[in-house]
Structure 1
């Protein structure tokens, strides 16, 4: 029988197994670290059929390869990307392995279970947002001629770093076919053609739609149906067995959970039988959701207009102010016009009067503007672009010392090219952090905000214009690109984070050991990373050390300011004795990573010496970073015998 690979073992001398994630009848999934890419986590799926029939094994191997080929041709930011497929002899001879990116986060099934334990479910607003984020993925897949076939909460992960849903588990994936692919096969299992039986076992649909029982003949209806059921399950917490009933039952369930008629109508159409009116594409559902949003806005407007009641100028006896007050639902009746002719003539006269007045006002405003444009420009004493207070209020700034300070803030922010609303969010987060410090509570809110804004601008001023220009737009794509670029310098993404953290935490020490990446100040971290990668590539804070056969000891010297760091890399063979000594300030930190990162010899350590036998061959990373308040000189001595 096919045996699992134990954690701690290497697959193909490349992927270090950390955890067995799951086991099916044909596949086994592992969480691994890519030792060729600085221990980046990824997922390896092993083709491991727990069945002896050679024909079935051969057929399932073909399907496994076909799934890999499909994944290879896909690229979407909300899919786990394909890395490679290979054969290797591990615990089992000639095994097949498929490697994909690892998506860190929780499945929607886990999130639902957590909410169930608290007596809560997903809100309608959350499900609308989820549908709008998932439907473009399905539209992309369907345009590529690909059906996922297993849309359900356990196959959707809420990605940790940006909270976007990511579609996973393509074990049931199938290509759209233009003709019914009935195979003339005399061999059957349980009265099914062998190919159909294999597909049903290889990837069972969690939410298979009625009319989709034929596993060889599929359409996009199954994906839309699965997404519809997923939405209802997340909204209601009901098990799927309770949802595969009539449309009337579904309507009642949704009504019990106060789901709006508009969303109910969309979900019922997603869950309709193939013989009933149903959506033909993911885009159709998106269009309906957009129209629904527009209708909701219009209805809100109508409700507001309906609730705004006017008192007639000349109320009749039957429509008095008192009667309206006593009966707020009474319709307001306008006073009848005395004569239709004079009513029309009056409207025409009013229209002409308005046109004439508008023209006169336009002429006067244009003339005034032209006169001002021809006069020397003066700085206006008021500025609408002042720093917004915590309660959102703004006002004119009188020409006082405080007003000049506000203008200075505006000018500095504009010179740095930072969006005002985003800057306000940064200041809000800083103030929230500072409220925990009793020393800061002596200032008034206005002074505390002004001080925080000036301090923030001082810190941002040290960043490059290019780095500042992307504030508010950084994401995982840039981080992945930076990792690729530093890898070319024989540095890992871990080393890059180390250098960025030392600088970031110098400016924001309160955020040490805090999760801030999805907050506004996380964008500042990204901006620092942007500049750090540039300086590494320019060799400003990086040096590649070399060693010839006769050289046993070499020294490097440098100087670090507070919050700075320098990285070194050097290629060394395994099994050699090595000693590293750092002479520097006690607040200098020393880090030493092995080539694969499996061995962390020192990590941000105030221990300034390490000696031992080199565990691996390849490029070792050595980082010297500063937590000192003042600049210091250092000397790094490296000896290899």
Structure 2
């Protein structure tokens, strides 16, 4: 098995450090940390290390998150600051007890490959972050409504009020640090790596590293005093939250919403919201910290109240329509079924081609988003099933006639729990996986379009068939031997990716390797996996995504010279 460092150097899977640059490599699946935490898969990584989904063997295999401290810095003072931030996060998290903040369990030290590694252990948050939810909506030409953003503000501002009461400022609020939690549909604030507790006697934070200020926060989201001066107020978080809200409403990055030349936000042009909400945003975004609201409770008091705040139907109703678990057993949510749901959002509606029996574990199949990360899927599961199948013309070379592949035998077919585990280990986004299996299932059974499968014995064969299709798809994706990065992006590829490769090839970034050769090599591998698929007519949401993933890996190999 090959693994890659962040610089895309190829390494043997048994290595703990990159043989080319010395960078720590991801912990392998199955690795035990502190003889207790078993690594399930990597969730993501940043400048200070990686984050992993793990099982706590001392707590009945309860899932948790391990946040690794392995900073990629060289200067001693930078390493010291990284350690300070890591220890600070642990110290602050021990003092925070709020249902919308991941619970801190422990910090620990482990010697791996001859070096010391440090880890934080936190709650696993099952859900998707708001940046991924936004990306899924944008793929359908949509963004968050003002109504939905108002609901988000109403649910997250009390969390900031709690932090204010503890003299804590987060310093890194953005769409990817807010997770929509599946269990209760509430936003959860994650990633407290930049947090620092405010001394009661001070009006702001001012941290120094030698002669240089410690500047934390994302460009575009963090206010001027934070990015340029290292100063942080309670109102700094409110500024970042307002930017987050505008990004969700407009679908544009902060740089596209702010005129840096004139020093003004583009109200009425790029940003179009109701007058009352605009007034609130303007005060949250005031340039001078003392001109903003001074705490979260002040914002709550001035939020518009006349607007409806019903939950976003795109991902809330999915939870409320769970009825029975696969195999005919009653699910835990049976007693919570809502008797009346608007017809246009019912997942049991005839308009939605998703088996009723499948809904309960659509959620569990994708429990992949966790603290600090984002895994795409929840929104795409519902809307990807609803929208009609669309096709794109994937760049191709002249088609050739290929034999149709033989169906895979049901012998040895995996159970639903096996499918869940394998999909999680492969880091395949839930939305893409469910959408593709559903598409294959209904393509095989067009007569079932418009009718939902039930938990009855009569539909048992069809339920088993769906699981068989899911198992077969996982086998194909395992055979594809895609990189983790390519698998994680399944469901998010588009023609823009190919346009980027075309531009890079034209600029000579591929050396003598041509775009035609890329297409030819990609189809050569794709055709071996999925013989019989007509070239140039691959579905954008299913087979086309796998084609692009194969191509993306090929581009990476060409660039690295392998």
What is the TM-score with the length of structure 1 in the denominator? 0.44
**Highest Rg: 1 or 2?**
1
More strand by share: 1
Q: Which has the higher contact order (CA 8 A, sep 6+)?
A: 2
What is the TM-score with the length of structure 2 in the denominator? 0.50
